[in-house]
Structure 1
Amino acid sequence: MKKLELFEPAMCCSTGVCGPSVDEELLMVTSVFEIFEGLDSIETARHNLTGDPDAFVNQPAILKLLQEKGNDILPVTLLDGEIVKEGAYPTLEEFGTYGDVHFVMQPASSSSDCCGGNSGCC
């Protein structure tokens, strides 16, 4: 089983829905981790510097990276204990590669029409 860990900067929440505006990137990351929870082939963990500082101290690769480059290097992604991305969240394609899954983007529904077209169902 693969192990995917995401070490994130200090923030009030990891969902992306807190604060004055929605963070689309954090929403995507949260959705990916929810999907990964349902798979037997990958174990996942998200560590926030505010809520889980011990995880940063107890992971030698992360501790060394923070000591060398500082907190601005976050987020950092580890796959099976190896750093695979630093300084940015993985893309949907990268997450798919890490978890051996294929994600398909769904088109956003139209905000002007509840049915997404002129079907007259609303």
Structure 2
Amino acid sequence: MPAKIELFDPPMCCPGGLCGPAIDPVLLDLNEAILRLKKEKGIAVERYLLSQQGKKFMENPEVLALLQQHGTEILPATAVNGHVVKTKNFPTYEELKQWASEPAPITQGASA
């Protein structure tokens, strides 16, 4: 089963952040990495905006705890199979590719 990758984006002017007169090259690279991952590996990456999908931020206990401790400065946050693996920066294509091929992480308290 492929990994579930979710990006919890910081507040942006539009979904994806690819609007306006000055497009952030980091967001352009991220968009290309997501498209490439889907094309090459068949992996979809879900992205959520705090202003539009706030419920998704509240449904992930790790993301919610990070927001409560650090505020929106901790965003973007990347979660793989529900566990936060990166904060404050968007993932690279190489990171996404690596996470997409990893098995689901073992959660604390899980028995073998």
TM-score, normalising length: structure 1: 0.71
Q: Quick one: higher RCO (CA 8 Å, sep 6+), 1 or 2?
A: 2
**Larger helix fraction of residues:** 2
CA distance in 1, matches of 2:37, 2:94: 14
1:12-27 to 2 correspondences below 5 Å = 12-27=13-28
User: Alignment length, in residue pairs?
Assistant: 99
Shift in Å, 1:43: 4.0
Letter in 1 for 2:87: E
Aligned residue for 1:54?
A: 55
Structure 2 unaligned regions, length at least 5: 102-112
**Alignment identity in percent?**
36
CA RMSD of aligned residues (A): 1.7
Aligned residue for 1:7?
A: 8
Structure 1 unaligned regions, length at least 5: 101-122
Letter in 1 for 2:38: E
CA distance in 2, matches of 1:58, 1:73: 17
CA contact 1:8–1:74 (8 Å) conserved in 2: yes
Larger Rg: 1
